[in-house]
A = this chain, B = another copy of it.
Amino acid sequence: MQPTIYDVAKKAGVSIATVSKVINNNGRIGKETRKKVLKIMEELNYQPSVLASALTGKRTETIGVLIPDLTNPFFAEITASMEERAHERGFSVVICSTKDSEEKEAKYISLLLRKKVDGCILASRFKQVGLIENMVKQGIPVALTSQDIPALNLNTVSVDDYKGGYKATAYLGSLGHKKIAMIAEKNVRSSHERIKGYVDAMIEMDLPFDDTLIREVEPTVTGGEQATEELLSLKEPPTAIFAGNEILAIGVSRAARSFQLDIPNDFSVIGFDNTLLATICDPPLTTIAQPIEQIGKQIVDILISEINGELGNKQRIMLPPELVIRKSTKELSIGKRLDEG
């Protein structure tokens, strides 16, 4: 159906070797010959088969990307960034949503192996370290993003979650808030780091806190909502909450509103990630921005470097998070401060 190199060769009256050379722009080819071959390729709308090419030892120009869930704006955005960069670099990406299922992780890794992808990016929350080791052993380049597995020596690009947690909390403190709570996603390494940042900032600011102020929940709107309701029902409720991501932050806002609290006048919320959601919700969220674009771009670049064998030793890059101030945070009003006296 689709023309092959033979069709081009025959029609151009040359050998397939010659055609191959003009395709790959190598070897010495006469100017006229090249022009003729090019013309025929055009006429036939010939597209060289990446399959056949890869079979002879070249690359498939494909990288596999495993993410937990495309419908989560954070992953959608980072995937978009990886996809864009990969295409710029001549690679395409095959996306696999693991849904946090170990079964799917295994299935997709095997799938990617069979398809002979040139490399793999595991974005966040990949569970089975053994599978990763297996790939590495088979010689396929692997890179991690938004998660670090210190036990493995792998290329990694992630944001400094600890610093992000610290910054968020410190900012709330700088606004005069004393009672600051944190709602974090459960069972995720990066979330633990954010909590550590929160804790250290609280200690450093000499602000009292205890376990009741730290909630680990499912990363859903209702998760954030319920935790907030509980927190606001405390005898001494927090005046500000640091939410570990923006889905949670939206839950926080919703609960606060149901308690008749005006954001940011009565109550402040800060999120984490800086996805579309932060700009879209009302009021727009103050948040700790991850450089999503840059993370995606850089992880792809590093993976491709490794594929090209250009990498000496593994890269471990930690990008700084940044505070983005919008409308969901405000100085604690004098009245409130006096209340807390």
Q: A residues within 8 Å of B by Cβ?
A: 1-2, 45, 47-52, 54-55, 60-62, 69-71, 73, 76-77, 79-80, 83-84, 87, 92-97, 104, 107-108, 110-111, 113-116, 134, 138-140, 221, 247, 250, 253-254, 257, 276-277, 279-282
Contact = CB atoms under 8 A, between A and B. Distances in A.
Contacts of A69: 80
Given A54-B51, A221-B279, A2 B79 contact: no
A276 B113 contact: no
Contacts of A277: 280
A4 to B, nearest CB: 11
A62 B221 CA distance: 35
A276 B49 contact: no
B79 A70 contact: yes
Nearest to A110: B47
B80 A47 contact: no
Given A73-B276, A94-B94, A280-B221, A50 B116 contact: yes
A279 B95 CA distance: 26
A2 B139 contact: yes
A129 to B, nearest CB: 16
A341 to B, nearest CB: 33
Given A83-B70, A110-B47, A281-B282, A62 B97 contact: no
A97 B93 CA distance: 11
Contacts of A60: 51, 115
Nearest to A117: B92
A277 B47 CA distance: 41
A6 to B, nearest CB: 14
